[in-house]
Amino acid sequence: QGSGWIIDHIKEMKITSFHAKALRGSAYVELPEKIKNKKAVINVNNSEDACEKHKADYDEWKDKCFKLAIMSYERNLKNNASEIRNYKNFNSQFNFDGLEYPVKEKGIKRFIKNNPDVFICLYRLDNEKVIPNGHFGDSNADNWIDILFYKDHYMWIKNLNRLLGKSGDHSSYCPNCLHK
């Protein structure tokens, strides 16, 4: 059919594969020092100890790192942004209805459906390297939120340029270009 050509032989074939782990949010994890020291990511501590210290209900917050990442974007606090006490009584403008916790990829899609004015760029951390991992929503949305996913934990990327750059580097990175 078609051209009528027939393959005589294949000289070389290269197959590359990788194991992709499904997204699934969880409780607090520490970032590697190199990433933490860049002060570019807000990693809200929803561990049992932190919840106890700040009188937050651990059972309510333990799997809600995705919600905390969105709320940390929304609050954009200058001080103590990683403390659960800043979020336990906060009423978000975003609609989290219908999300199942811990949030998986379909939950992110549901969140975008509930909040069409949000665009999420998702990155993952692999061996201290930040890798684009997909985007959700309309890139013309009013709220463009960069999220880091590391060891089953979501965190808000407050400063993508600082996270991706090296010390003293003042480069600007285009999230839209990174995800192409």
Query: Which DSSP symbol is given to 165?
Result: S
Mean pLDDT, the chain, rounded, equals 88
Question: Three-class SS of residue 159?
Answer: coil
> Which tens digit of pLDDT belongs to each residue from 41-95?
999 999 999 999 999 999 999 999 999 999 999 999 999 999 999 999 999 999 9
Which tokens in the block code for residue 79?
């001080």
pLDDT confidence of residue 170: 72
Three-class secondary structure assignment of 50-113? HHHHCCCCHHHHCCCHHHHHHHHHHHCCCCCCCEHHHCCCCCCCCCCCCCCCCCCHHHHHHHHH
Choose between 4 and 47: higher pLDDT: 47
* Whole-structure pTM value: 0.82
